[in-house]
Structure formats: structure tokens, C-alpha cells
Amino acid sequence: MKIKILVLLIMSLLFVSEISAQKLNINLKEATINGHKLGSYTIDSITDLLGRPTAIGSEYIASIIGQSITYHNLGLQFRFYEKSTDPEQHLHTVYITFIKYWDELYNDFFNPYSEILIPNLNADTKASDIQEIFGNDSLFITTPEEAEKKYNKSVKDTLLYRHGGFRYTILTKFPDHNVNFTHEGVTKFLITLLMEYKK
């Protein structure tokens, strides 16, 4: 009987910790995090929400294009405006990954994003699903063949050429933000997305 009670107690604690660990609700259509617009967040408010990041961008790069903070364990990277143009350094871009892969820049693995995402997308989402969810009228599609023609071969060393070759991308535009979906070139499964807030 005591063992049964102990097992039930452990299970309930695990359930509570799982709920409390789920801190994020990202809405792609509304460009919100937990109900607040992307542009309302700063480095301080993101770190207050998620704690210490696993990586911080270099000061040199931050002085040119703005600071970035990465949470490899959550599959997330946040990018902020450069300090001279925005002293409070508001958030403008959220990068979400749906597969586990090695980040060469910071020598760490990105885990797949597992928090709440609206619409509900994951690594099993295909390009055709994105077209169905967001509607063809607002989508701009680049096939791997088009990407290969457009970009120089040197980009094979960059994010444009990873995970098995040039990728299949879908850009969808909203009045105050864009979302760029990146899919594997062959299978068209979702790899990453980039949501960019317009100031």
C-alpha cells in the first residue's frame, strides 16, 4: 500500500512539473508569445520568462546586426534590434527548429521545439500542410531547384544548404509579420521556421 501511494505521489509530481515547465505559447498567425506581440518583448523579458540561455551572440556581431540569445534545449533562438537603433533591444525574430541537429557555432544540439505552437506544427508537417493551413494566396514558394539557380554554390556552407541539400521554403506574409517555413528538399518535411516581426 505504501509503495502504491509513493508511486502515485511521484507520478503526480512529474505531471505537475511537466505542466509548469511548459512556459510558451507561440501563435504564428498573431505573432504573439503567451498572448503578447513579439515586438513587446526585450532580452530581459525573454530571460525572465525562460531563464538563462544556452548561448549568447558575440558583442561584435550584436553591435552590427543586434543581439541573439539561444535556448538549444527548447529549440529556440531569439533575435533583437541593435542597441543604437533600439536602446531597449526589442525582439524582432524568433527561430524555431523541429528536428535535433548540431549547432556548429555554439557546439551544442538544438532539440526539437515541444512547447505550444498555434497552428500545431511539428517535424511531421509537410509543405502541403502549410499550404492548406495558410492558404495558397499568401504564400511565396521556392523549390530546391530554384534555390540552386538563385544562390551561388558557396552557400552550401551556410544555413541555405543543410539537412540534405537545398531546401524547399514557403514564405507567408501578414500585415505586421512574416513567417518563413523551411522544409527538406526531397521529403518536404518541416525543419525550421523563422517568424519576423515588422516594426
Max Cα-Cα span within the chain: 69
Asked whether residue 152 carries a pLDDT value surpassing 70, the answer given is no
Which residue from 181, 170, 182 is spatially nearest to 141, judged by alpha carbons? 170
Give the amino acid at 104.
E
| Mean of pLDDT values over 165-171 | 83
pLDDT of residue 64: 79
Look at residue 185 in the predicted model and tell me its pLDDT.
86
- Strand pairing of 55-56 and 36-37? unpaired
- Cα 163 off chain centre by: 16
Query: How confident is the model over 17-74, as pLDDT tens digits?
Result: 343 355 899 999 999 999 999 999 999 999 999 999 999 988 877 777 889 999 999 9
When pLDDT is averaged across residues 136-151 and rounded to a whole number, the result is 77
How large a percentage of the chain has pLDDT more than 90?
Answer: 60
Q: pLDDT tens, 63-107?
A: 778 899 999 999 999 999 998 899 999 999 999 999 998 998 899
Task: Place 151 in a pLDDT band, splitting at 50, 70 and 90.
Answer: low
d(CA 87, CA 84): 6
Residues 28 and 193 sit within 8 Å (Cβ to Cβ): yes
Mean pLDDT of the chain: 84
Domain ranges of the chain: 23-197
* Angstrom distance (rounded) from CA 24 to CA 18: 12
What share of the chain in percent tops pLDDT 70?
79
